[in-house]
Structure 1
Amino acid sequence: MTTLLSPDELEARLRHIGAERYHRNHPLHKAMYNGELTKGQLQAWALNRYYYQSQIPIKDAYILAHLPTPELRREWRHRIEDHDGTHDNIGGIARWLKLTEGLGLDTDYVKSLQGLLPSTRFAVDAYVNFTRDRSILAAIASSLTELFSPTIIGERMEGMLRNYSFISRDTMAYFTPRLTQAPRDSTFALSYVKEHARTPEQQQDVIEALEFKCNVLWTLLDALDHAYVEGNIPAGAFVPETP
């Protein structure tokens, strides 16, 4: 980029990235909410996605460590509490384990990560390392997939509750708080990015960071599709008992 965008032009570019690249457009997501996956395929999705969920507080801790002011650190800290939980409330990781349990998976097995696809581990670790090693501006920008997550969450909840008799609202409890948490978090992150991306080079970093994060999420579904739809499950990975 050689031309500086206005803050609103930058936001428009970021939203265009989401429209094109967010994993809401992935065929596996569409098959999921249309009721086209088997229970075993849903188990594989939930088991692999657990690794992503478990690493969110770690990537947020890296971002937190680089924030320069108490005000910014207070703003970011609640993201860790949202997923790790507090003494009074369980967090997103525990709610995700309710999902895997509701799908019939053993919790200790899920937490052990023994059945994880190698591609899942590589993609998630790449995201965590990105937030550790890149600028704070790029790290915050990579979180902006939350701009688009309420739509995919709504689709996922409605479609899965309608189409799979073995899934209940209690099983899907992870998603309800995210309908309010994600918009709150993305509002802050978008405001930060629009204020602090002040040069064409910084704006390019922001754009590429969001593209990278969209690629990570797309890769997670690509790996699941290759293993559990096309039937190329690698040695050591989870093998569903149900068809």
Structure 2
Amino acid sequence: MTQLMPKEEFWKKLQEARTPSHSMGHPFSNSWKKAELTKEDLGFWAMQQYYYIEEVPQMFALLFARLPDLDARLHMLENLMGEEIPERHPELMLNFAEACGFNRELVTTGYNNGRILPSTIAMRSWTYELATIRPLSDAAAGIMVALEGQTPTIYPHYIEAGKKMGFSNEDLKFFSVHVEADEGHEEHGLEICSRYATTYELQLQAIATVGTSARMRYRMLDGIWDATVGKNQVKAAE
């Protein structure tokens, strides 16, 4: 049996695994950073994001129930409560969608009206899979390291561009609350992942799961890009 990687090496590999498909490298994120997207583009993104995050509290509750250790549960409980208190994150996303010109009913009924993309549905399904049936080391790696670990490096650019586009601090609150909180969540995720990746094989699987989560998120942005900017580029070329 191959020996476990030392913690420092394991953490480094976990963090490096998201780099090839980091969402900040996506054309949609780059265009957002440059304030080149329209409010309609951002509203469509908000609709997809709302569908993806609407049930994150339930996902986190399911993962919380699986954790055998009290301190790991407390970390997860803190994460879960942060999604709901003092302001629900899905509600903050609806506020941003409204600031983009998308009314709440349009966003909350997006799935029923066929406006949620397959890549967005796949992203939510993947996160549910991580929370419910994957090894606990995979769950921590795929959610807290791969996904939450990206937002502190992405959302500051979204906020800066949003202000240039005329959005208020209140409109952008969804992003600002994540910048600080998710940095701590990543660290907790690394700790939890290390605890439950008790074999070299589980360590390798957790590293692979970070890469998978990053790619799933990147593919979600692919779908949004194709439905907004890409679609408009095709029309302009006709």
Please tell me the TM-score bracket, short chain as reference.
0.7 to 0.9
For the residues of structure 2 that align with 1:98 and 1:139, how far apart are their CA atoms?
29
* Contact 2:40/2:101 (8 A) holds in 1: no
Structure 1 unaligned spans of 5+:
233-243
* Contact 1:55/1:128 (8 A) holds in 2: no
Match of 2:101 in 1: 104
Percent identity of paired positions between Structure 1 and Structure 2: 23
Match of 2:235 in 1: none
* Contact 1:34/1:159 (8 A) holds in 2: yes
Task: Please show how residues 1-243 of structure 1 align to structure 2 within 5 Å.
Answer: 4-85=4-85, 89-113=86-110, 114=113, 115-143=115-143, 144-145=145-146, 146-162=148-164, 164-165=165-166, 167-231=167-231
Amino acid at match of 2:160: E
Deviations 1:82-126 (A, max 9, x none): 2233xxx22211111111111111112211223222321122212
Structure 2 unaligned spans of 5+:
233-238
Per the alignment, in what secondary structure is the counterpart of residue 231 of structure 2? coil
Return the offset for 1:3.
5.9
**Runs of 4+ in structure 1 displaced over 4 angstroms?**
none
For the residues of structure 1 that align with 2:80 and 2:159, how far apart are their CA atoms?
23
Amino acid at match of 2:106: Y
The number of equivalent residue pairs is: 227
* Contact 1:127/1:216 (8 A) holds in 2: no
**Greater mean deviation of Cα atoms: 142-151 or 27-36:** 142-151
CA spacing shift, 1:34–1:2, aligned 2, 3 Å? farther
Deviations 1:117-153 (A, max 9, x none): 2321122212212321111111111121222321111
CA spacing shift, 1:66–1:2, aligned 2, 3 Å? same
For the residues of structure 1 that align with 2:73 and 2:192, how far apart are their CA atoms?
13
Amino acid at match of 2:209: A
C-alpha RMSD over aligned residues: 1.9
Return the offset for 1:206.
0.9
* Contact 1:142/1:212 (8 A) holds in 2: yes
CA spacing shift, 1:120–1:159, aligned 2, 3 Å? same
* Contact 1:124/1:216 (8 A) holds in 2: no
For the residues of structure 2 that align with 1:131 and 1:90, how far apart are their CA atoms?
23
Return the offset for 1:30.
0.3
TM-score by length of 2: 0.88
* Contact 2:47/2:97 (8 A) holds in 1: yes
Amino acid at match of 1:36: E
